Amino acid sequence: MPKSRTTNKRRRATRSRARGTRARNGSGRDDAISLLKADHREVERLFGEFESARSRDRQRELAERICEALKVHTEIEEEIFYPAFLEATDDTDVHHEAEIEHAGAKHLISEIEATGPRDDHFEARVTVLREMIRHHVKEEEQRGGMFSEAQKSDMDLQELGRQLHERKLELMGESPEGGAERSGRRMPPPQSRSRRGGRELRARSS
């Protein structure tokens, strides 16, 4: 058989296996990966607006929005997506690197929130945060990265997407069930919710 025909058959087989995996784990437009990528694009947009902002008030407003969006995003990843990823793939290297990158970003976010635009290093901190997030996003979204591994695994990405969406609404004070406002009652600790989320997913997949 000619080499080109053999190569084409292999490519079709690879695409077929990929489609089968997506069908099994429920990936699609409303799944966990799509939701997290949408968060990435939104934060990138806000960073772009910050870069072009001229007034201190506008910079302060955008920095607050960036920090808030990142805090919500990192929390839903750490509470729900990362534990499910680790359980499904056993890839401790990728999981631990992502957690360490989150820790560095959260430290910088706290400094930005504590100082504000009057601080001489305000713009520099936001710029460094942007570079950190850009690297983190690339690591998650690149071929062979966390999202790619998740899509190849047996993770129920549709169910995870639902959980991520609901938790995001809670953290933003927009839960349709009257979830807690930021100034209201405190949210459950991340670790306890992560364990419960893992049990729920295991129960559904068993």
- Evaluate whether residue 84 is within a structural domain: yes
- Evaluate whether residue 13 is within a structural domain: no
- Evaluate whether residue 76 is within a structural domain: yes
Q: Is the pLDDT of residue 157 over 80?
A: yes
Say what the pLDDT of residue 141 is. 98
- Evaluate whether residue 161 is within a structural domain: yes
- CA–CA distance, 158 with 25 (Å, rounded to integer): 7
Hey, what are 77's tokens? 């990843």
15-24, 75-84, 102-111, 139-148: range with lowest mean pLDDT: 15-24
- Evaluate whether residue 8 is within a structural domain: no
Say what the pLDDT of residue 15 is. 46
Say what the pLDDT of residue 158 is. 97
Average per-residue pLDDT for the chain:
82
Domain extent, residue 124, equals: 30-173+186-205
- CA–CA distance, 200 with 93 (Å, rounded to integer): 25
SS (H, E, C) the chain: CCHHHHHHHHHHHHHHHHHHHHHHHCCCCCCHHHHHHHHHHHHHHHHHHHHHCCCHHHHHHHHHHHHHHHHHHHHHHHHHHHHHHHHHHCCHHHHHHHHHHHHHHHHHHHHHHHHCCCCCCHHHHHHHHHHHHHHHHHHHHCCCCHHHHHHHCCCCHHHHHHHHHHHHHHHCCCCCCCCCCCCCCCCCCHHHHHHHHHHHHHHHHC
pLDDT band at 27, cuts 50/70/90? Answer: low
Say what the pLDDT of residue 30 is. 79
pLDDT over 90 for what percent of the chain?
67
Q: Is the pLDDT of residue 35 over 90?
A: yes
Mean pLDDT of 165-171: 96
Give this prediction's pTM: 0.74
- CA–CA distance, 116 with 113 (Å, rounded to integer): 6
- CA–CA distance, 206 with 156 (Å, rounded to integer): 12
Q: Is the pLDDT of residue 127 over 90?
A: yes
- CA–CA distance, 20 with 13 (Å, rounded to integer): 11
Q: Which burial class, exposed, middle or buried, applies to 146 when counting CB atoms under 10 A from its CB (0-12, 13-18, 19+)?
A: buried
Say what the pLDDT of residue 76 is. 98
- Evaluate whether residue 15 is within a structural domain: no
Name which residue leads in pLDDT, 54 or 12. Answer: 54
Number of domains in the chain: 1
Say what the pLDDT of residue 120 is. 93
Name which residue leads in pLDDT, 32 or 5. Answer: 32
- Evaluate whether residue 25 is within a structural domain: no
Name which residue leads in pLDDT, 94 or 206. Answer: 94
Say what the pLDDT of residue 118 is. 87
Say what the pLDDT of residue 116 is. 87
Q: Is the pLDDT of residue 145 over 90?
A: yes
Say what the pLDDT of residue 195 is. 41
